[in-house]
Amino acid sequence: MIKIANAPCSWGALEFDLGGKAPDYIQVLNEIKETGYVGTELGDWGFMPTDPSELKNELEQRNLILLGAFIPVLLKDLSKHSDGIQNAVKTAKLMKDAGFPNAFIVLADENGTIPERTNNAGRIKPDMSLSSEEWKIFCEGANKLAENVLSETGLKTVFHHHCGGYVETPDEVKMLMDNTDPNLLGLVLDMGHYKFGGGDPLIALKEYQDRIWHIHFKDCDEEIAKLSRSNNWDYFESVKNGVFCELGKGSVDFESIVKQLVNTKYDGWIVVEQDVLPGMGKPKECALHNREFIKSLGL
C-alpha cells in the first residue's frame, strides 16, 4: 500500500545555512497532520527532539510515522567519510530507538556548497562532473556509509540525487547506480529534481525500478526552469522564484507516474517535498493543495 507523507523542508526547514526563520517542529508536525498526511521525515539534527522517547511521543500524539532522515555528506572528499558515517549511524539509531526501524537514511551530496554546481543547477554540462577517481571515492563512500548504517542499526540507506550537488543529471544518477552495491544502496527518486536536472522521471522510474526504495513527489515549473537557465540563476535563486511549484502546476507527468507505481505494485512511501526557503510562501496551504492533488490521482 502506498502511503503519503510530507517533510519539514516544505515549511522552509532546510539543510542549508540560510537567512530567515522556519516554523518550529510543533507547528510543522501539527500542520502535516492537519493537511492529511500520515508520515514525516526528521529534518536536520536538532529540528525535532533528539531524545528517542520524546521524539516517539511527539509523533505518536499525532499518529505520524517517521520514515527517513536527510544526511548530506561531501562524498567526493575521502576525509569527510568518517564523520558522515558517524552522523548517519547516530541518526539511524535515533529513529530506530524511537520505534521506527523501517525508516531510511536519505543520503545526499553536500548540496549547495560547491559554487560551480550551485551556480549552474539545472544546466550542468559534462565537464562539470566528477573525475573518474572522484567518482570512485564518492561511490565507495556511499557504499561504506550504507553498510555501516545497516550493520549497526538494521536501517537501509537510499541516495537522493539533488540539483546543486554532484549527482544531478540523468548521466550522474546512472553513474552512481552503476557503481554502488544494489544490496546496500537504494535510490530515492525525486521527480522535481530529476526533471530540473534534465531528465524524465517516468523514464527513471522504469529504468531503476528495482533500486527505487523511496520516492519524493516534487513538481518543476518548466517556465521558471527556462528563466533560470537564461538568467543564470543559482540553485537558491531558482527555488526562490518557484521552480519547485505546487504539484500539478508544473511539467512532471504525475498521472503516468502513479499509473506506473500502481502497475509495479510499489508499496513504499511517497513524500511530498515542495522546497521553500525560510519564510517563503504559505506552506500549510500548499501542503493541503498537494495532498488533494495526490488524492485526485487515486492515492
Whole-structure pTM value: 0.95
What whole-number distance in Å separates Cα of residue 141 and Cα of residue 131? 15
Give the closest residue to 251 by CA, choosing from 292, 299, 191, 203.
191
Give the closest residue to 105 by CA, choosing from 63, 148, 51, 135.
148
List b or e across 104-136, with b for residues whose CB sees 16 or more CB atoms inside 10 angstroms.
bbbbbbbbbebeebbbbbbbbeeebbbeeeebe
Q: What's the chain's Rg over C-alpha atoms? A: 18
Where do the domains of the chain lie, and which CATH numbers do they carry?
3-296 (3.20.20.150)
CB of 152 closer than 8 Å to CB of 185: no
113-166 per-position pLDDT tens digit: 999 999 999 999 999 999 999 999 999 999 999 999 999 999 999 999 999 999
Percent of the chain scoring above 90 in pLDDT: 90
Count how many residues are written for the chain. 299
232-270 per-position pLDDT tens digit: 999 999 998 999 999 999 999 999 999 999 999 999 999
Q: Tell me the residue type at 179.
A: N
What whole-number distance in Å separates Cα of residue 279 and Cα of residue 14? 11
Q: Give the cell for residue 126.
A: 559534462
Q: Mean pLDDT of all residues in the chain?
A: 95
- pLDDT over threshold 50, residue 16: no
Give the closest residue to 246 by CA, choosing from 291, 295, 196, 297.
291
